[in-house]
């Protein structure tokens, strides 16, 4: 891909996903613009077996942008990293099309496997601030990973995952809209559990109080 074609593609992607952009040329200032462009160059060298040169390019990009993408990773079209500082993408990661990551995301391995040891992220996935996806499994298409979540196992398509460890808290047959970048309005399973416990506790207290009152009447 030529530099100008890449520039036009990134303008379209960033205008779709980041309301902060005002002028097209601002994309040149985005860390993800530099990081992804340098990743594409490094990946070509990696595929040719030029591993040292590939890593040299990727490490230069990491130093300049704070985004570390291993040149062995496979990344599809329409990829965007918003802000991006602290993002780490491991060697055997596979990322589909139209995926969005936010700052502090890690797509890593456990350090114990050989071969495929990093996650596969399918199309139209959004991974929010600070989330960690660790291990060789798949995050299904059209899914959302909540901020700060730690995902350690398979995520079905069309799911919303939150928590530590990450749990699927929403799943249906309706695709998550591609441009839904909302990281805030996600289900809170812990709060839901607390509310349920409070409700059950009130019901038990009511039963106990009734039993005590009945016993007093009998006495």
| pLDDT(49) > 80 | yes
Domain assignment of residue 126, given as a range: 3-187
| pLDDT(46) > 90 | yes
Task: Say yes or no: 148 and 214 in one domain.
Answer: no
- Which tens digit of pLDDT belongs to each residue from 66-99? 999 999 999 999 999 998 899 999 999 999 999 9
- Which tens digit of pLDDT belongs to each residue from 117-176? 999 999 999 999 999 999 999 999 999 999 999 999 999 999 999 988 878 887 764 544
Residue whose tokens read 């409070």: 198
Task: Say yes or no: 159 and 216 in one domain.
Answer: no
Query: Rounded to whole angstroms, how far apart are CA atoms 171 and 199?
Result: 25
Q: Are 65 and 83 in contact (CB under 8 A)?
A: no
- In this prediction, residues 47-72 reach a mean pLDDT of 96
Q: Residues near 80 by Cβ (< 8 Å), separated by ≥ 6?
A: 13, 14, 17, 18, 32, 99, 100, 101
Task: Say yes or no: 124 and 18 in one domain.
Answer: yes
Task: Say yes or no: 51 and 85 in one domain.
Answer: yes
What per-residue confidence (pLDDT) applies to 184?
53
Total domains in the fold of the chain: 2
């Amino acid at each position: 891909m030529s530099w100008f074609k890449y520039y036009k593609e990134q303008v379209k992607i960033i205008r779709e996903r980041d309301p902060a952009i005002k002028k097209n040329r601002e994309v040149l200032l985005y860390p993800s613009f530099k990081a992804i462009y340098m990743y594409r160059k490094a990946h070509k060298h990696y595929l040719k077996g030029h591993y040292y040169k590939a890593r040299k390019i990727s490490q230069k990009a990491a130093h300049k942008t704070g985004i570390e993408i291993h040149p062995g990773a496979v990344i599809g079209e329409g990829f965007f990293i918003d802000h991006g500082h602290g993002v780490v993408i491991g060697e055997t990661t596979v990322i589909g099309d139209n995926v969005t990551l936010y700052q502090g995301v890690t797509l890593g391995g456990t350090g114990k496997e050989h071969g495929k040891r990093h996650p596969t992220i399918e199309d139209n996935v959004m991974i929010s601030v600070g989330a960690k996806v660790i291990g060789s499994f798949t995050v299904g298409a059209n899914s959302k990973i909540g901020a700060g979540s730690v995902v350690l196992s398979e995520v079905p398509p069309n799911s919303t995952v939150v928590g530590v460890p990450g749990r699927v808290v929403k799943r249906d047959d309706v695709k998550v809209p591609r441009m839904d970048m909302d990281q805030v309005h996600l289900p809170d399973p812990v709060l839901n559990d607390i509310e349920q416990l409070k409700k059950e506790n009130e019901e038990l207290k009511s039963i106990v109080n009734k039993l005590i009152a009945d016993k007093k009447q009998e006495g």
